[in-house]
Structure 1
């Protein structure tokens, strides 16, 4: 009888482990996501702007990371350099042309696990109506139950370097740097209605 109990317990543990290994879908949290990009200004300074998250979904498959994916939308209405006149200028036609192209989007096409919680995430970045492949160097910060929200949560940091001229944003190059450095920090949670299933 005791052997049967042990087998039943082992079966439950196995089922729980299998459930945890399934892909998990997280909704990215705009309140805890920053998409920062910086550029060189005539060699004198390196200003930074934040593109606030509109919405984003991350599917993370811990067992098979290659099946993971991420998709985000970044509204240019949220662009923030902390300088109102610069915000306004960057949204004009010589830069983002935000009236015509109101969002920046990223959709992953490949996720490669490098070990140690590090990943290369390749995807299509669309800016100013132009779509180009971009590679993000990502690092898993933490995953587990969120202590305040009482639901599963995950957090990543990521970096990338790209050229704005590749997206038709070439005003004032080379005096204003063509190279853009991107730094992202984000966290997401499993929606409570999904977590309850």
Structure 2
């Protein structure tokens, strides 16, 4: 074995070791029940309707020292949606918008965490609504809670167009652009 082959072997073993260490140091997290996963959309062009998914299954694998190995997943039960304007619930869950009877869940699966510094991240992933999957980017802040090491504060937002997910355009005065938000805390499993 020559010196170059020996160095290559050492480098390969080192890279494999770093990958294993990164996976070992990654912590598993789930959102606290008090966290908000929902959206807001303009209604009639001037008032805002807010919706919160009350039943969300969430998981995140994250190590701030190796964010490139992180992953996150959300599964929202569409029928668990509570609204700031309850009178709109049947319309929003109906066939023209969420179509909850046919599509009972909405999902987000991340592909990539990009660290921007100062606890800021771009989280690239796929959002699936009504059986239609589109790429989205969450602008996120993930920061250790200063009072409890078992918690991590989270704020994440993105904007989507309803029609990109097969929802009826210009329906009932509900706006086309929807702001999606996650805020609260991840808790270490």
The alignment's TM-score, normalised by the length of structure 1, stands at 0.77
Kindly state the Cα deviation for residue 28 of structure 1 after the two structures are TM-superposed: 2.0
Q: Any stretches of 5+ residues in structure 2 without a counterpart?
A: 1-20
CA contact (8 A) 1:53 1:72 kept: no
Q: Which has the higher strand share?
A: 2
Kindly state the Cα deviation for residue 145 of structure 1 after the two structures are TM-superposed: 7.0
Provide, for residues 78-100 of structure 1, a one-character-per-residue CA deviation record: whole Å limited to 9, x for no partner.
Answer: 11113333112211111111011
Provide, for residues 117-138 of structure 1, a one-character-per-residue CA deviation record: whole Å limited to 9, x for no partner.
Answer: 0000010100011000010000
Provide, for residues 16-40 of structure 1, a one-character-per-residue CA deviation record: whole Å limited to 9, x for no partner.
Answer: xx89x811111222x2221231112
In the alignment of these two chains, the number of paired residues is 168
Provide, for residues 132-190 of structure 1, a one-character-per-residue CA deviation record: whole Å limited to 9, x for no partner.
Answer: 001000002324673xxxx7222210111111110001242595321111221032222
CA contact (8 A) 1:159 1:181 kept: yes
Aligned residue number for residue 34 of structure 1? 36
Question: Is 1:111 paired with 2:113?
Answer: yes
Provide, for residues 26-56 of structure 1, a one-character-per-residue CA deviation record: whole Å limited to 9, x for no partner.
Answer: 1222x22212311122222122111234210
The alignment's TM-score, normalised by the length of structure 2, stands at 0.80
Aligned residue number for residue 23 of structure 1? 26
Structural mapping, 1:79-90, within 5 Å = 79-90=81-92
Structure 2 SS opposite 1:46: strand
In 1, Cα distance between the equivalents of 2:168 and 2:124? 24
CA contact (8 A) 2:162 2:169 kept: no
In 2, Cα distance between the equivalents of 1:62 and 1:143? 13
CA contact (8 A) 1:33 1:52 kept: no
In 2, Cα distance between the equivalents of 1:176 and 1:89? 10
**For the structure 1 residues 175 and 99, does the alpha-carbon distance in structure 2 shift closer, same or farther, using more than 3 Å as the test?**
closer
In 2, Cα distance between the equivalents of 1:60 and 1:145? 19
In 1, Cα distance between the equivalents of 2:105 and 2:151? 26
**For the structure 1 residues 172 and 126, does the alpha-carbon distance in structure 2 shift closer, same or farther, using more than 3 Å as the test?**
same
Q: Any stretches of 5+ residues in structure 1 without a counterpart?
A: 1-17, 192-197
RMSD (Å) for aligned C-alpha atoms = 2.2
**For the structure 1 residues 144 and 23, does the alpha-carbon distance in structure 2 shift closer, same or farther, using more than 3 Å as the test?**
farther
